[in-house]
Amino acid sequence: TQRTSSSRFACCRSPVSYSMRVLACVRFAAHKGFGQVRLASTSSQKKYVDLREDRAIYTTDPINYDEPKFDKILIANRGEIACRVIKTARAMGIKTVAVHSDVDSNSLHVRLADEAVCVGPAPTNQSYLRVDKILQAVKDTGAQAVHPGYGFLSENTHFAADLEKIGVKFVGPNSKAILDMGDKINSKKIAAAAKINMIPGFDGEIADEDMCVKVANDIGYPVMIKASAGGGGKGMRIAWNDKEAREGYSLSKQEAASSFGDDRMLVEKFIDNPRHIEMQVLCDKHGNSLWLNERECSIQRRNQKVIEEAPSSFVTPEMRRAMGEQSVQLARAVGYDSAGTVEFLVDGKRNFYFLEMNTRLQVEHPITESITGIDIVQQMLRVSYGHKLNISQKEVPLQGWAFESRVYAEDPYKGFGLPSVGRLSKYVEPNHITGVRCDSGIREGSEISIYYDPLICKLVTHGKDRATALARMRDALDGYVIRGVTHNIPLLRDICQEQRFNEGRITTKYLPEVYPEGFQGATLTQEEEETVLSMAAALNARKIARSKQFKNQSRQQSTYVDPYKMTFKFVTEIPVEDRESKKVAVAVSFHNGDEKEARVTINGKTVSISGDMNLAQPIIDLKANGKEVTTQIVSKKAGEITVVYKGTNFKVKVLPEHAVDYVKHMKPKPKLDLSSVVLSPMPGAIKSVAVKVGDMVSEGQQLIVIEAMKMQNGLHAAKTGKVKNVTVKEGQTVDEGELLVELE
């Protein structure tokens, strides 16, 4: 195994112990059978190991093993996209080099690659964004090309140019195209010249807050303030008035500086209620260019995509062709020579306006792959090597429908998603379901840290039509097991069964419109609620019955009663915050003493819950009155069981019948007065503290800015008062729920 983790790249605090550990890892990897996979892939035979997700779909232009190719490439990224690129490279027979920060030494992309180089400590600006260190790694490993993935250095023209200087290919467009399109001001000029439909806006950089306000007034509110170098919703804000324009300008500028190292800002007209539809293009160095159909990415929160689909239910064939042709027109105008995406805003009348061009592989590329059967990474590697595209526009298929849910480690109940961190104590992907593809860079035991994007997985489902793909997405979300971090599956699952979404009536405002009060968890019908309560009661009855099933307690057994012949009477309740919740009496018995057949009497009805009520398995497939239900036991405590139903966790109180009368005597515990304290809503680093002890603050005043996953969030005072205590300093990292500021 040629793992280069030499002390030259030593980056952790104690280099000595580190190298020892890596040795141990290698030893350990060999033991686990990783060694075998590696041998197969590096052999000179043409049978390469194909570990690509959903590899059977790539039929449009399959790998041609006789075609010349790179011997070795370096992937300048981490997480799922690094894994994604490595898998295709391996399938093509290309050796791979991973780069990683010290905390990522054990991560999946490092394990998958043939070689790995540590490029620095955890913060991205000291590792994944360090051009010098990555260039050094390229030189040391002899990689012939670098795939940048998305984010990080993918749209850094200096990096692409530096690579060109040392004769290494940048797997992406030429640096001029990146420069032209990556800069939003410049790209607009080019697009306008190429006769692409444009949004009204200011043509140039915004120098300061005052100018921002002036320009905004010229165009007319609402306006979008965004970083010239931005993308992915970072460094981007919408302003509806002068105050918001000022605040948005400075916050976005700061974010842009820290995320992209480029804080130039621009302002444009904000089109209310639009759809966000983008066109995938693919070009080679010989002047050939293709459009690979559109993706609809309207389901967004804070300008970050949540669920994407391809194709769009809104786009007609004529419109598709028009968008495709304009996109290709633009690509030709800038001499584009790789995979790229042209983003459009689409209004209710099917008018589309050019938004920007992303000169990189997009996060949501798998859905395009699903409906076209084209491995975009493979094509990027081919065209980067200098090959021509093998397919013509006519040969680009559009087969079936695909959805992508971005499964994030974040709390969907707070602003549709506040980052959360933690260790994945249990993690099972729903790969057992047909048509499911999981692109992830993590595995059970991985740590979701504050340093990187909180993406857990891109869950993709494909089916012959929209309804099939969507039904598969619901099943896949039900069968997805994630423990240890808060995740957004409850929201994703709820959207997947929401009527508007099912009908395809979506805009970028979908989330705030469908959930005006914020996401509150799945709402249950009476029947669904009975199902949840019945399942919880049946599982709890099984738990209590099992506690009598001893195998070696032989004394005093002559009066033993088979617990599965008993009737368990409970009072169940789904507690709701701040108000009285409904208590429902249930009785559970096991039909003929069969532990797989529970009969639950609830509200005068009988619900039969059948199936293996295995209390250890992460996923439990049951039938409620014959209807299939998938559930998960998240936790079981004395008198309380938490089950998952339709993606949402339901903490169900299941108390013995006789306990209920007594519960009313229990005194409620005093609650912390939340208006006089500011708690950290998520783990992160304190960016700035605006107040000190003794200051008077008014309600709504910003007290602290906290940064997590590169997003800055202002924390405001909930009431007017005097600051009694400030417990944090700038730069300090805090946990979720930590007390930051106390008011008198």
Partner 1 sequence: IKMLSRYARSAIFSLPRGMQMATRATSSIQHTLKVAEKIEKTREKALLGGGQKRIDAQHKRGKLTARERIELLVDPGSFREYDMFAEHTCTDFGMQKEKYPGDSVVTGRAQIAGRTVFLFSQDFTVFGGSLSSIHAKKIVKIMKDAMLVGAPVIGLNDSGGARIQEGVESLAGYADIFQANVMASGVVPQISLIMGPCAGGAVYSPALTDFTFMVRDSSYLFITGPDVVKAVTNEEVTQEELGGAKTHTVTSGVAHGAFENDVDALMNMRELFNYLPLSNTDASPIRACDDPWYRVVPSLDTVVPLESTAAYNMKDVVLSLVDEGDFFEIMPDYAKNIVVGFARMNGRTVGVVGNNPKFAAGCLDINSSIKGARFVRFCDAFNIPIITLVDVPGFLPGTAQEYGGIIRHGAKLLYAYAEATVPKITVITRKAFGGAYDVMASKHLRGDLNYAWPTAEVAVMGAKGAVSILFRNDKENAVKHEEEYTELFSNPFPAAVRGFVDDIIIPSETRRRICEDLNMLESKKLKNPKKKHGNIPL
Binding site for partner 1 (CB under 8 A): 12-14, 16-18, 20-22, 24-25, 27-28, 31-32, 102-103, 105-106, 423-427, 443-447, 544, 546-553, 555-556, 560-561, 563, 614-617, 636, 638-639, 655-656, 658-659, 662-663, 665-667, 669
Degrees, nearest 5: CA angle 732-734-736: 165
Closest approach, Cβ 558 to partner 1, in A, equals: 12
Nearer to partner 1, 551 or 729 (CB): 551
Nearer to partner 1, 240 or 662 (CB): 662
Q: Residue written as tokens 């997700």?
A: 53
Nearer to partner 1, 78 or 264 (CB): 78
Nearer to partner 1, 25 or 398 (CB): 25
Nearer to partner 1, 26 or 194 (CB): 26
Length of the chain: 744
Q: Which amino acid is at 14?
A: S
Report how far residue 363's alpha carbon sits from residue 650's, in angstroms, rounded to the nearest whole number. Answer: 32
CA 105 remoteness from chain centre: 21
Identify the sign of the CA torsion 254, 260, 262, 265: negative
Task: Please identify which of the residues 84, 360, 406, 472 carries the catalytic annotation.
Answer: 360
Q: Which amino acid is at 473?
A: M
**Strand duo 447-448 + 481-483: pairing:** unpaired
For residue 654, the cross-strand partners are: 572
Closest approach, Cβ 623 to partner 1, in A, equals: 19
H helix or E strand, kind and range, residue 501: helix 499-503
Q: Edge-to-edge, what's the strand order for the sheet holding 684-689? A: 711-716, 702-708, 684-689, 733-734
Closest approach, Cβ 170 to partner 1, in A, equals: 31
Closest approach, Cβ 110 to partner 1, in A, equals: 11
Nearer to partner 1, 12 or 86 (CB): 12
Closest approach, Cβ 419 to partner 1, in A, equals: 20
Q: Is residue 84 flagged as an active site residue? A: no
Report how far residue 98's alpha carbon sits from residue 82's, in angstroms, rounded to the nearest whole number. Answer: 8
Closest approach, Cβ 470 to partner 1, in A, equals: 31
Question: Secondary structure of 55-90 in the HEC alphabet?
Answer: HHHCCCCCCCCCCCCCCEEEECCCHHHHHHHHHHHH
Nearer to partner 1, 213 or 655 (CB): 655
| Non-local CB neighbours of 64 within 8 Å, separated by 6+ positions | none
Report how far residue 431's alpha carbon sits from residue 116's, in angstroms, rounded to the nearest whole number. Answer: 28
Structure tokens at 48: 């390469």
Q: Residue written as tokens 């097991």?
A: 481
DSSP state letters, 87-116? HHHHHHT-EEEEEEEGGGTTSHHHHHSSEE
CA 584 remoteness from chain centre: 37
532: left (phi over 0), alpha (psi -120 to 50) or beta: alpha
Closest approach, Cβ 283 to partner 1, in A, equals: 40
Which three-class secondary structure state does DSSP give residue 653? strand
Nearer to partner 1, 24 or 207 (CB): 24
| Non-local CB neighbours of 398 within 8 Å, separated by 6+ positions | 293, 311, 371, 372
DSSP state letters, 357-375? EE-S--TTHHHHHHHH---
Closest approach, Cβ 613 to partner 1, in A, equals: 9
Closest approach, Cβ 104 to partner 1, in A, equals: 9
Report how far residue 143's alpha carbon sits from residue 70's, in angstroms, rounded to the nearest whole number. Answer: 9
Nearer to partner 1, 416 or 570 (CB): 570
Closest approach, Cβ 662 to partner 1, in A, equals: 6
Q: Which amino acid is at 113?
A: A
Structure tokens at 299: 């389901």
Nearer to partner 1, 110 or 477 (CB): 110
b/e code 84-115 from CB counts within 10 Å (16+ = b): bbbbbbbbbbbbbbbbbbbbbbbbbbbbbbbb
The answer, yes or no, to whether the previous bond of 516 is cis (omega within 30 of 0) is: no
The answer, yes or no, to whether the previous bond of 200 is cis (omega within 30 of 0) is: no
* Catalytic residue positions, numbered: 360
